[in-house]
Amino acid sequence: MHFFKQSIIARLGAAMLAISIMAVVSMIGSVIVAESTQGDAAGINLAGSLRMLSYRIIAETGQYSHDQTDERRSKVQHTISEFEKRISSPILKEVIPQEGDHDLYRLHSNLKKDWHEQILPALDQMLTDASSTPEYIDKIELFVHRIDQMVQLLERSTESKIKLLSLVQGISLFMTVLIILIAMLDIKNNVVLPLQELVQMARRASRGDLAARVEYESQDELGVLGDSFNHMAEELSKIYTDLEQRVQKKTAQLQQSNEALQLLYDTTRCFNRKEDICRRLMPVMQQLETVTPFGPIKVTLCEPNNKKSYRQLTTQSLERPEDCRVLSCNSCIVQDLDPRTHKTLTLPIQTRETYFGEFNAQFLPHSPPTQSEIKLVETIVENLAISMSLELKAEQEQHLSLIEERSVIARELHDSLAQSLSYLKIQVARLHILRKKNANAEQINDVVDELKEGLNNAYRQLRELLTTFRLKLDAPGLEHALETTINEFSERLGTPINYHYGIHHLTLTPNEEIHVLQLLREALANVVKHAQATDVKVSITAERDNISVCIQDNGIGLPANQELTNHYGLVIMQDRAATINGKLSVANQSCGGTRVLLTFTTKHH
C-alpha cells in the first residue's frame, strides 16, 4: 500500500490490471460455463425423444395387438431397439453427472433399471402373446412421467449453469465499474484537482506573485511536484528579495556616487570662482557634511610654504570669525556645538611644491567613514590644493607678465623713441652752437629741417608704439594684431594685401610677438612711403620651431647706391631681429620690388 501511495502511475496501473483481471475472469467463466453446457441441448432433446418413443411404443403395440403382422411386429421391435439405444446413449452419459448421489444420475439409473426389468419384459410378453392384458401401458405412462422429471432436471441444470454465467458476468461487470469509479475518483482527487492547482499557482508565479503555494500534499508524483514548486517559489522569493535588497543597496551606492560626483562638480565650480575663499569653500564643506558622516569640518589656511596660518574656516562656530568679510552671511554660526567626542581625519592641503594649510574633518567613533568617503575627502582636498596652486601660479605669471610687459615697453621706448629724442637733442645742440657762431641762415634752416624730420619720426614711432600696445591690450594674440595691422595698411595703400598666417600650432613669447608686429609695421610703412607698389604679400610660416616672416612688393625697389631715405627705420628693424636672435635680410627681387625676410627660432611652443 505504501508503494501505491507514492505513485499515481502505480495506482492507475493497478486499476487497469484489476479491470483486465475482471475481463479475463468473465471470459474464463463464460468459457467454463459454455464448456459445461455443451451437449445439454442434445441431452434434453434426446431425453425428450425418449418420451416420444415411449408414446410410439404404446401406439405401435396397440396397432400390433389389432393387426399381428410381421411388419408391425418388426416396427415395434425397431422402436423398442431405438428406445434402448437412446436411453443408453453416450450423449445422456455426458450430460448426466456420474456422481452416485446426484438426482439425475439416480433418476437415469432407475429409468434404465425399470426399462430393463419391467417395461422391456412386458413388451416382450406382449409381442409373444398379443391377447394378454396390456399392463405395460400403465407402466409406460408411469415411465414417461419419470422421463419428464429427468428432462426437467436436465433443463434446471442447464438453467443453473446459464444463471451462474450471468452471475459471473454481472459480478465482473460490477467490479469493473466499481474499479473504474474508484480510479476516476482517484484521478479527480489526486490528478485533476492537483494539476489545476499547480497550473493556477504557476500562472500566479508567472505574473510575479511569488507568494503562491500549492496546498496539495501527497507522497505521489504530483505531491513531489507540488513540494518542488513550493520550494522553487520559496527560493525565487528569497532570490527576488535578495535581488531587491542588492538593487536597493546598489541604488544607494549609485545615489551616493552621484552625490559625490555632484559634490566634486560643485567643488570645481566653487573653487574656480573669483570670490573670497570662505564663500567658495564653505558651501563645499557644508555639502560634504550632508553626504558623508564628517562634521564639523575645519580648514586652516597658511601662507604658501609657511606654517603660519592667516585664516581659519569652520562649519560650526558660536561667534562670527574676526576675518569674516561678509557680515550678512551666517552659514557657519550655530547655537550650540556638538558635545560628543569626535575623531579627526587630518589631511594637508598641499601640492608637490607648495604647502597651503590643513583640512580637519571630524566624525563620531560609532559611525566611521568608509574608504570611498575618505577618498572623496582626499579628492576634494587635492582639488583645493590644485586650485590654490593654480591661483598662486596665475598671480605669479600675471606678475611676471606685467614685469615682462613693462620691460617690453621700456625696451621699445629705448630702441625707438629714446634714440629719436637723443637724435633731436644732438640737433638742438648743433642749432645752439650755430647760433653762438652766428652761422648763416641756410645752415640753421638745415638743422631746423632735420629737427622737423626727427620730430616727425619720433611722433610716428610713438604712434606706432601706442597702436601696437592697444592691439595687445584689446585682443591678446599675434594673429588678431596682425590681421588688424594688415587691414590698416591695406586701407593706407588703397589695395588689399595678400596675407597668409601659417603658425596656428605655435605660440610665441610676448617679446617675440611685439618685435614681429613692430618689424612688420615698419616694413609696411616703408612700402606705403617709398615703394609705390600695387601688389604686396605678407606670409608667416613655420618649419618645426623655425619662424619665417616675409614681406614682398612689386614697387620700385631699393636705390642702387644703397643710400636709403629712411635708414634709421632699417637700423631699428635690424635691432629687433637681433633682439629675438633672428636674421633680417632686405633685398631687391629679380622680378622687381623688394623682399624683407625675418627668420628666427621661437622659444615658446
Give the CA distances from residue 434 to residues 1, 428, 441, 509, in Å, rounded to whole numbers and listed in that order. Answer: 152, 10, 10, 48
pLDDT confidence of residue 198: 85
pLDDT higher for 472 or 325? 325
**Contact call for residues 545 and 602 (beta carbons, < 8 A):** yes
- pLDDT, residue 583, reads 92
* Contacts of residue 156, Cβ cutoff 8 Å, sequence gap at least 6: none
Least Cα distance to 542 among 590, 509, 577, 508 occurs for: 508
pLDDT of residue 515: 84
- Kindly report, residue by residue over 464-489, the tens digit of the pLDDT: 666 656 554 445 567 888 888 899 88
CB 279 within 8 A of CB 329: yes
Task: State yes or no: pLDDT of 562 exceeds 60.
Answer: no
| 453 vs 591, higher pLDDT | 591
How is residue 416 written as a grid cell? 625707438
3-state secondary structure of 565: coil
Confidence of residue 566 (pLDDT cuts 50, 70, 90): very low
Question: In 67-189, where does DSSP find H-type helix?
Answer: 70-87, 90-95, 103-114, 120-128, 136-187
pLDDT category at 231 given cuts 50, 70, 90 is: confident
H helices of 358-440, in order, are 371-412, 419-436
Has residue 430 got a pLDDT over 70? yes
Render pLDDT for 122-150 as a digit per residue (tens, 0 to 9): 777 777 776 655 666 777 778 778 778 77
**What pLDDT was estimated at residue 39?**
65
Distance CA(196)–CA(191), nearest Å, equals: 9
Helix pair 221-271, 371-412: axis angle to 10 deg: 30
- The DSSP string of 175-243 is HHHHHHHHHHHHHIIIIIHHHHHHHHHHHHHHTT-TT-------SSHHHHHHHHHHHHHHHHHHHHHHH
Query: What is the CATH number that goes with domain 490-605?
Result: 3.30.565.10
Output the pLDDT for position 473.
41
Question: Of the candidates 211, 202, 206, which has an alpha carbon nearest to the alpha carbon of residue 234?
Answer: 211
What's the whole-number mean pLDDT along residues 361-368?
Answer: 88
Question: Residues, the chain, total?
Answer: 605
* Cis geometry, peptide bond prior to residue 194 (ω within 30 degrees of 0): no
Query: Hunting for cell 572623496 — which residue is that?
Result: 376
- Residue 596, pLDDT > 80, answer yes
pLDDT in tens, 377-407: 888 888 888 888 888 887 777 777 667 666 6
Q: What is the pLDDT of residue 553?
A: 92
Residue type present at position 491: E
Amino acid letter, 436: K
Q: Which helix (H) or strand (E) holds 539?
A: strand 536-543
The predicted model scores a pTM of 0.44
Does 377 or 31 have the greater pLDDT score?
A: 377
pLDDT at 443 over 70: yes
* Rounded CA separation 269/497 (Å): 45
> pLDDT class for 189, splitting at 50, 70, 90?
confident
Q: Would strands 498-501 and 536-543 be described as parallel, antiparallel, or unpaired?
A: parallel
Class of residue 94 by CB neighbours under 10 A (exposed 0-12, middle 13-18, buried 19+):
middle
Which is the CATH superfamily of the domain at 2-194? Histidine kinase NarX, sensor domain (1.20.120.960)
Tell me the domain boundaries of the chain: 2-194, 255-389, 390-474, 490-605
Q: Which of 42-56, 282-296, 452-466, 575-589 has the lowest mean pLDDT?
A: 452-466
* Residues above pLDDT 70, as percent of the chain: 88
**Per-residue pLDDT, 3:** 62
CA–CA dist 526, 571 (Å, integer):
13
pLDDT digits (tens, 9 = 90+) for 68-93: 787 888 887 888 888 888 777 777 77
pLDDT in tens, 499-528: 999 887 777 877 788 888 888 888 888 888
Query: How confident is the prediction for the chain on average, in pLDDT?
Result: 80
Q: How confident is the model at residue 201 (pLDDT cuts 50, 70, 90)?
A: confident
- Return the CATH class of domain 255-389: alpha beta
Would you say residue 565 has pLDDT above 50?
Answer: no
Q: Which one, of 329, 24, 7, 282, lies nearest residue 176 by Cα?
A: 24
DSSP element (H, E) containing 464: helix 441-474
Three-state DSSP class for residue 441: helix
